[in-house]
Structure 1
């Protein structure tokens, strides 16, 4: 099911958006009686209040649907977390490299915990009042966390989801204060000298990034070199500088206000 219409801003004039709202209401009411109310996923109610399908349609047209509500669990769509569980495909998400995949092996008990919270707490039928600002903020944060648990770090990644990768990085950070390796139990330090200072086996030395970049502009020569891509670059079709690459040109098109200033820096990871 294509959900790309949820990102359209011009709701009142877009036939695609209005058709998308109709398809959503048809999906949400396919197993309900004509007089049954449904939860309203607009930006005001965030599935916290039930209305008739006509009122929901009106709110979605005038106020807009919550863009982060990608899996319609409040309206009958299954949460695709476990093996063999049927789900409704999300074409828009797949095009963005956010194809849903099984993260049970990467998060341990986290998917089950998230699913239980999502399917019980958020779908509590006793919630009839409008959510306050704090509840809306918490709900948006949880929906983002839930989406991160099901989204790959990059399209070809099969080992980590965004959430599991962040958790892994936090665990590595926690190991910074350990005296022994958590895997092989070897000491992190060679020995302790007479002054009591610990000498580690491995030392990583580096220049802090911000001061290093500032120093490049302290010299007239290097400062001119830093602006070369804008002031002296010749676009003759030959690839001799990163500015000749398609990635650089695409970045300039997407961020024209940034690219107009020649002293702005682009950092790349290799």
Structure 2
């Protein structure tokens, strides 16, 4: 049916005709002739009302614009593209209670080669939480509960106890899993995979590619596996593990959502361009990429990324020497009020402690660098759900976000000693203090304008006047 009337003026004839067409469609599929769900902007299908009252609400309050699939009034959710052949494999008695969990299943299926798992997951997305439930499906309930677990840092045991208690409270024949293990098995089929890559305890190499079968480090000779007193154990435990969450499949999944796919082109379609700096798209770095690689810049859906890295102590006050390093990716295509939401900051790597990797962090970044290089030079075929088309997705890393010590590790730049300033370099004004045996840095007056009175003052500073010009930051070629 034509649904363009939903966004029209409520006083227009087109909107009124659309309301009448919707009411006719909704009432001809009714099983209860008295009440139907009210889809107005205030009720949002949360309450059922008489037919005439629903018509009055739609005319006075307007239609909920997010209600594009009329599943509460008889419209069946029809998958698009390659998913159509699966209609014959599904039972016609399924209730399509929610569009969101079904969209999650379709996104996962693009990366899943097992049709059996897909059909089972689709059944979980369509099946009510208990007989007669019209608000939650098995999959949507598990996802919402698991989000609460992550948000409030619930322990695994407390989450299992909660699932067991909720199962007892719900009506009989409910399908809520009774333990965290069962919930993880259901969520695991969504394709949120990760890789555990073994690493040398001395941060020499990762046991991948040509080193995947090695038992000792080819550089320092340290054993890959922990020594166990129980020799009967067949499963060996690695000394150190890198947790890697591949970003490519997650970028593709972002475009599988119609709303997110639309927002990923916000910087080109909706951003105000008036020479004011409101978004990274207004920065010189962004414009330089567009000018230097116009083929990349012409595709507005290509991703602009930033990498953030720093050490944290997950044990809080229990220990002060443990350092765990998360590596995050930020997507700048999104509007500024969405860029740094938790939902869109992507954890790509977790470098376990207890010692920080320091200058050997490049060893751990190798898998991520390979994926980012592939996204830049080759790209991946990606389906855009908003525009209903497939395109070649590429990405570029604009910059890194970190403090000064981490900057030294990531960029290989001096951040200690006499030449600690990354801007001044060898022209750093440094002086070693005799009593404290520390290095102090002066010469900041160079960055003032040439006519500034501070440049000529002696007593207020180190007894000298400053006439030198400010140093220029090194270019990429110089670095």
**TM-score category of the 2 structures, normalised to the smaller one:** 0.3 to 0.5
TM-score, normalization: structure 2?
0.27
TM-score, normalization: structure 1?
0.43
Higher-strand-fraction structure = 2
Higher-helix-fraction structure = 1
Over alpha carbons, which structure has the higher Rg?
2
The structure with higher relative contact order (CA 8 Å, sep 6+) is: 1
